[in-house]
Structure 1
């Protein structure tokens, strides 16, 4: 059966609707496995809450850290935590790609009229991301109400753009690593450390060594999806470039990752072969 021909706009709406079906299945999973969902939410609260306790202890002794106040630090942490949870919830495909290839599921995906990467994303929602997403948003709103920042339509819109840009940057970086599975048998020993690097961007880059700042800005650009958008919202005069730089970076790294995916997919050999 041949897939119906669609123009670019029709294809976009088709994919949005298709992903909506994946999300429905995901929501049904959350409802069906209520105990697991409750545990995931509780784990997210504990994980994020422990970091807030750590920051509180630090700021009891140090009023400012690298010129950043307590609630500014909490805001930076909240945006980064929400973005990471968003990535984990809806863009977790890099962590499941190896399994799809080894189990032969990629063979099935490649004969369907929807792209294999889209299907990989649709099948890869992560249950544990829900708890961290909820607590991250609560922390972000809580800190945002206490910092000296004017909340306008633009700042709200930019916050949404920054969160999705960050999720896409994380996805693209990790996809670039996981796509190496098409050439290397085992890649998980690399993808997890690269993922953990994002945790550094929950804090101001000013407190880290210049080498680490350069790594997180220019090599693995996690800071472009966490610290810099938060810094722009808090201090727009100093970080005005982030208004366009963050979404532009997300677009570039996604295109690069997709290009590598396309090359790797051509190299893929069926497990049945």
Structure 2
């Protein structure tokens, strides 16, 4: 309940700020939509030169991309950790965080909440719906509930990986520069994993499991590529990766000695 009340306060402050600087809000929304549109256009351009990727059709790849956008939007909305090292370690704001009663990770997440990113999830849902119709997929009453469970599992994968990466800042005074690399690897998860070689498939499934933010959970709904076992592993993988990220964060906070004077 305490964290929920904090969330309401942070959201209220966010709204007050954006009402003052409304143009910034809409510029952020427009940039997110443009980024998503460019990725979608890239898929269409690829299929102008080939009828399929492996045995995946254009509509199926678009479907996977649509799913990919849903957990990514949720993660970016509630767990925006991109600038953690610069803001909280280099500038010393972590000292302020640790003087307050709420959990350190909770505070950092709430301070960086980014509601416009949620629009990306809605766009992804629309892309999925359009591809669903193009593919003529059946729709069962439980599909929305399955989608919610899988999307939450995928979001936990993002949260665990990027929390662990952010926590690396507790172990080093200098920025690691690893976040851009992981972000680039993450983007492989928006395409069918079957088109990659065995090494990349192993990496994206078991080491940096970004296949569980895209193709594996999305395959639950695709009749031609359905893989229920890997799809239902998504929540379990999310819990494991999330727990690892939280463990790395907790250990890192204990090692943190402050910014100094």
Secondary structure of the structure 1 residue equivalent to 2:245: helix
Compute the displacement of 1:98 (Å). 4.4
Shift of 1:261: 1.2
**What corresponds to 2:59 in structure 1?**
71
Verify: 1:196 aligned to 2:184, yes or no: yes
Match in the other structure for 1:148: 136
Give the Cα separation in 2 of the matches to 1:217 and 1:269.
35
The alpha-carbon distance between structure 1 residues 176 and 157, as it changes in their structure 2 partners (threshold 3 A), is: same
The answer (yes or no) to whether the contact 1:75–1:140 under 8 Å persists in 2 is: yes
For these two proteins, the number of residue pairs brought into alignment is 261
Matched with 1:226 is 214
Q: Separation in 1 of the partners of 2:225 and 2:57?
A: 17
In structure 2, stretches of 5+ residues that fail to align are: none
- Name the stretch that deviates more: 90-99 or 33-42: 90-99
5+ long unaligned stretches in structure 1: 1-12
Q: TM-score, normalised by structure 2?
A: 0.89
CA distance in structure 2 between the aligned counterparts of 1:228 and 1:23, rounded to whole angstroms: 33
> 1:110-162, CA deviations, whole angstroms, 9 ceiling, x for partnerless residues?
22221111101111124763553443333223223333323233211121222
| More moved, 57-66 vs 80-89 | 57-66
Instruction: Supply the distance in 2 between the matched residues of 1:74 and 1:234 (Cα, whole angstroms).
Output: 12
* Post-superposition offset of 1:61: 4.1
Question: Are residue 53 (structure 1) and residue 45 (structure 2) matched?
Answer: no
1:131/1:42 Cα in 2 relative to 1: closer, same or farther (>3 Å)?
A: farther
The alignment partner of 1:63 has SS state of coil
RMSD: 2.3
Change (3 A) 1:245 1:266: same
**By how many angstroms is 1:252 displaced?**
0.7
- Aligned mate of 1:124, from 105, 112, 121: 112
* 1:32 aligned residue: 20
SS at match of 1:113: coil
- Structure 1 length as normaliser, TM-score? 0.85
Q: Is the 8 A contact 1:232 1:239 kept in 2?
A: yes
2:157 corresponding residue in structure 1? 169
The Cα shift of 1:85 comes to 2.3
Q: C-alpha deviations, 1:236-269, integer Å up to 9, x for none? A: 9841113431011111111111111111111111
Q: Does 1:247 align with 2:235?
A: yes
- Are 1:14 and 2:16 matched, yes or no? no
How many angstroms apart in 2 are the aligned matches of 1:230 and 1:144?
11
Could you tell which deviates more after superposition, 143-152 or 206-215?
143-152
Aligned pairs for 1:205-216 within 5 A: 205-216=193-204
For residue 172 of structure 1, report the CA deviation from its aligned partner: 0.9
